[in-house]
Amino acid sequence: MSPSDTTLPISAIDDDAPETRRSILERSLLFCRRQPLGTFGLALCIVMLIAGLGAEWLAPYSPTANDFSAMTEPPSWAHLLGTDQFGRDLLSRIIYGARTALIVGFSCAIVGGFVGLVLGVGSAYFGGRIDAWLQRVFDVLMAFPLIIMALAVVAIFGTGVQNVIVAITVPLVPRCARVVRSSALSIREVPYVDAARACGFGHVRIIMRHMVPNVMAPFLILITAFVGQAILAEASLSYLGLGVQEPVAAWGLMLQGGAEEYASTAPWIAVFPGLAIALTVFGISLYGDALRDVLDPKMRDR
């Protein structure tokens, strides 16, 4: 941590004031200088993002191509991370797995986050009976641990990428709505919302222009955390055989079955896919923590 991290409140205010006038580049550089761990996390995320987006160009082999002359080969120049029990190149499967993880992670976080945002802000804004009922519903939904809820949804709709996305998105919605509602509640009482109402603006305009921008900070922090949670949940489901199915390349799936069986003779099959999951979620969490420090002034010294 650089010494500038432990700024006094006064200098923090000084730093904040011209922030709006700084260019994006300047602000990014400032973020990197103040949050070295967060920048490292962001770098990890970007590496995974590039791997996921450019899988066709980056992967040396096809992720589904079997090579029965090279089964459970240790890492070598031909296969940088070795091959699995079907002779498939592990590096290629990890690169394609990044795509699966990113698709699931981002779809769940964005869809779950936005539904949660709408319900949370709406609940806080309208208050009264709607709020009370929604709160009870969220209470019920929050009583299901994420993975248990996801398993229950999979039990109904079945496995596969799309169903996994639905299964993980559903439990994220109330978690987002809760957080958003509590920060939106304090904004509802602020005079400018009253002023907007006095001007005769409609509900949609007040919600979109006055309430939503003010809950953006906790919302963005939450969405970042959701991406990590969703990737972990997808990996767990796939590992249990109840998520993404073969032949799609997914990190959790790579650890299923063969990985345990061959663990002692071919440890690379078990080590590298798990490392990919851990590093990605580690990167997202570091970035999320840094984002929280920057966006939430109350948390600045923590």
Partner 1 sequence: MYRYIINRLVLVIPTLVGAAALVFALMRLIPGDICVVRLASGGGTFNAHAVAVCHAEVGLDQSVPVQFVNFVIGLFRFDFGPSMWSGKPVSEEILARLPISLEVALLATVIAVLIAIPLGTISALKQNSWTDVVVRTVAIAGIATPSFWLGILVILAILDITQAISGTPWMPPIDYVSLWDDPIRNLSIVICPAVTVGYRYSAVTMRMTRSAMLEVLREDYIRTARAKGLIEKLVVNRHALKNALLPVVTLIGIEFAFLIGGLVVTEQVFNLNGIGRLFVLAVQNQDYTLTQALVMLTVVVFVLCNLIVDVLYAWLDPRIRYA
Q: Residues interacting with partner 1, by CB under 8 A?
A: 1, 5-6, 37, 136-137, 139-141, 143-148, 151-156, 228, 232, 235-236, 239-242, 252, 255, 259-260, 263-264, 267, 270-271, 273-274, 277-282, 284-286, 289, 301-302
Distance between CA atoms of residues 155 and 99, nearest Å: 25
Taking the least distance from each CB to partner 1, the nearer of 23 and 264 is 264
Q: Could you give the residue ranges of the DSSP H alpha helices within the chain?
A: 9-16, 24-34, 36-53, 55-58, 90-126, 128-142, 146-157, 161-188, 191-198, 203-206, 216-239, 251-254, 258-261, 267-295
Q: How far is the CB of 216 from partner 1 (least distance, A)?
A: 22
Taking the least distance from each CB to partner 1, the nearer of 58 and 240 is 240
Closest CA to 177 of 213, 134, 217: 134
Q: How far is the CB of 266 from partner 1 (least distance, A)?
A: 11
Q: How far is the CB of 235 from partner 1 (least distance, A)?
A: 5
Taking the least distance from each CB to partner 1, the nearer of 53 and 143 is 143
Taking the least distance from each CB to partner 1, the nearer of 10 and 204 is 10
Q: How far is the CB of 11 from partner 1 (least distance, A)?
A: 16
Radius of gyration in angstroms for the set of CA atoms belonging to the chain, rounded to a whole number = 23
Q: How far is the CB of 143 from partner 1 (least distance, A)?
A: 5
Q: Is the dihedral of CA 126, 179, 244, 289 positive or negative?
A: positive
Taking the least distance from each CB to partner 1, the nearer of 173 and 211 is 173
Amino acid at 168: I
Query: Residue 152, Cβ neighbours under 10 Å: how many?
Result: 13
